[in-house]
Structure 1
Amino acid sequence: MFLFNRYVCTVLLLVVLFAVMGVRSAMAHEGRNVGDYNFIVGFIDEPAIEGMINGVSLRLTSLKEKEPHDHNAHTGGVEQSSDDAIHSNAVGGIDTLEVEVTHIASGISKLMSLKESFGIPGQYEVGFIPTSPGPYRFRFVGDIKGQAVNEIFESGNNTFDEVKSAKEIQFPLQLSAPRETENAARGALETANEAREDAANVASSASTGILLGAIALILGVVALSLAVLAFQRSGRKA
């Protein structure tokens, strides 16, 4: 009996856990009506982690009155117990939408073409690897069956997840991100270049000083020679 109760509790716990995860996944996307359509937008995988493959996710559905489908087209001719028609408001077959992805902190952006996921009508995605943490902006442009689209979604606390630094979930060791390593290497290279330029300037200044000193020495010798010559001439006259 104890084992049975323990089994039941475990099953209930798993059910609650998966339900919470499902709610969290839904909350991590932003939903908004755009004209005759509803957009649900976010990263493909959330939380989004710096340096890990991810992408833009768009779930597109129609707000227009649903059109009933033929039962037999979905049931293979098997009679159903319910008389309700099977409905679907997913908007598939759209190849005229693009998304401009912007890393807000740096202002760097790139325009990408959305592709419909195989076997999932109305689900559009495009993959990329976010290489910097922080908030991102997704601007959808193009048209949907003649309706022009120019809609902006930004990550945030009340929308969809911002990209997190990989250090936040690394365990047991926290490793430097490729971005940090590259920045450190770039900084070291710039410092080395500056030091080389300074050394070259010092060497150039030293060379100039030596040259000027040599010229001064030559002029001094010439002046001394002229003075001796003048002294000798004055002695002869005397």
Structure 2
Amino acid sequence: MKYIKTLLVLSFAAILLSWLPPNNAFAHGGRDVNDFNFVIGFASEPAYEGIINAIELKITGKPSQKDTHSDGHGHDHHSHGHSDIDVNAHGGIFASELLSAGDKFSTTIAKDINNVEIPYHDHMNHDITGTIKVSDEGDLGEVKVMIHETSLMPSDIHVQPGATIIWTNYSKGLHAITSGVMDSGQTEKQPISGLSETLKAELIHVSSKSSVILNLNEDSDNPGRYTSPFIPTSPGVYEIRVYGTIDGVEIDETFISMGGGGDFDDIVPPTSIQFPQKLTSDREITGAITEATEISQLALIRSNTLNTWVIISLVIGGIGIAVSCLSLGLQFRKK
């Protein structure tokens, strides 16, 4: 009973710890994944065996292209009917959806946009930039631009009002063609929200190779922070695999705890926080019971085997005595 009460107290303590603000200095691992940054670990660290915990994952990245006004076929819905439009405004004239390999995006320069130079860039790679000079001396009709891994060809074009520009992605990566310039405030990575339906986590206990699939639940008070509660029942090294999609980008990343060379904590026995008595864990009790059961079964088998040999020996001895008595009786008769 005392053991059960202590476990309950420790469990409630872990729950209280999980309610602390997510900015505590825990040992978490992190890395860049495409245009996103993952920071992952256990919500409560040090992470103790038998005490409720959770996977904690924070994801930041560039703003999603889902808020652009494209019709889904590569043609933008931005109005070009104002000659005083700010050509430097981010996405002020056009903004494509994410373009996979082979995808196209097109926009037509409005008739009343003239004698201006429109800067544009790749929203997924800010080093890829280009300009569209608009004047009556430029090209009319369709003007084609090829998107490569790190460049545009041609990057600078000269068109007339009414011309249609068509970009085609010839690379394997994702691109998003956007008019205007990217200022320093927009280049900062922001929390990525709404991924509970598209991402999952697989928790793996390395030594036993046991694994479980967990849902990632977003923290309503902290966008971009996702958790998956669980109770670790064995200490040791753990792996966390995150897989699914973010804005159409395939994600499959595995992170490992410190014992395997990673950055977040291993699961450890709770003995260091037990006071005044050190308690035996459920795992140790189960192991001791299993071992005792195996020993008793082996002893029973050996006992049964020994009893069988004793019986056989007694039978053989009885037969020998009977044969001897019979032989003696026959000898007395002959005399």
TM-score normalized by the length of structure 2: 0.52
- Equivalences for residues 141-220 of structure 1 within 5 A: 141-156=243-258, 159-220=263-324
- After superposition, the CA RMSD in angstroms is 2.9
1:36/1:64 contact within 8 Å kept: no
Equivalence for 1:91: 192
Question: After TM superposition, which residue ranges in structure 1, 4 or more long, deviate above 6 angstroms?
Answer: 21-24, 65-68
What secondary structure is seen at the aligned counterpart in 1 of 2:190?
coil
Give the Å deviation of 1:215: 2.0
Tell me the equivalent position of 1:15: none
For 1:120-167, what per-residue CA distance to the aligned partner results, in whole angstroms no more than 9, with x for missing partners? 321211111111122211111222222111111011176111112100
The residue that corresponds to 1:236 in the other structure is: none
Structure 1 residues 92 and 23: CA distance shift in structure 2, 3 A: closer
Please give the secondary structure, in 1, of the residue aligned with 2:45.
Answer: coil
Evaluate the alpha carbon distance shift between residue 113 and residue 92 of structure 1 in structure 2; reply closer, same or farther with a 3 A threshold: same
On the 8 A contact 2:255/2:262 being kept in 1, the answer is no
Alpha-carbon distance in structure 2 between the residues aligned to 1:91 and 1:23: 16
Letter in 2 for 1:210: L
- Greater strand share, structure number: 2
Q: Which runs of 5+ in 2 are unaligned?
A: 1-19, 68-184
What SS class does the counterpart of residue 32 from structure 2 fall into? strand
Picking from 215, 221, 230, the partner of 1:128 is 230
- Structure 2 CA distance for partners of 1:91 and 1:217, relative to 1, 3 Å: same
What's the counterpart of residue 138 of structure 1? 240
Amino acid at match of 2:312: T
The answer (yes or no) to whether the contact 2:61–2:189 under 8 Å persists in 1 is: no
Mark the CA change 1:41 to 1:168 in structure 2 (over 3 Å): closer, same or farther. Answer: same
Relative distance call for 1:24 and 1:190 in structure 2 (3 A) is farther
Superposed CA offset, 1:14-34 (max 9, x none): xxxxxxx99994451112111
Aligned to 1:80: none
Q: In structure 2, give the amino acid aligned to 1:188.
A: A
Q: Check 1:143–1:65 CA distance in 2 against 1; reply closer, same or farther (3 A cut).
A: closer
Paired position in structure 2 for 1:104 = 206
Q: State the distance in 2 between where 1:154 and 1:102 align.
A: 9
**Partner amino acid for 1:105?**
S
59-68 or 198-207: bigger deviation: 59-68
1:117 and 2:219 aligned: yes
Structure 1, unaligned runs of 5 or more: 1-20, 69-83, 233-238
Is the CA contact (8 Å cut-off) linking 1:28 and 1:159 kept in structure 2? yes
Alpha-carbon distance between aligned partners in 2 of 1:31 and 1:116, rounded to the nearest angstrom = 18
Distance 1:23 1:115 in 2: 14
For 2:238, the aligned partner's letter is Y
Distance 1:223 1:113 in 2: 86
How far, CA to CA, are the matches of 2:212 and 2:58 in structure 1? 21
Residue 24 and residue 118 in structure 1: after superposition, are their counterparts in 2 closer, same or farther (change >3 A)? Answer: closer
Report what 1:29 is aligned to.
28
Q: Secondary structure at the match of 2:44?
A: coil
Compute the displacement of 1:112 (Å).
Answer: 1.9
Amino acid at match of 2:34: G
> Partner amino acid for 1:116?
E
Aligned residue for 2:56? 57
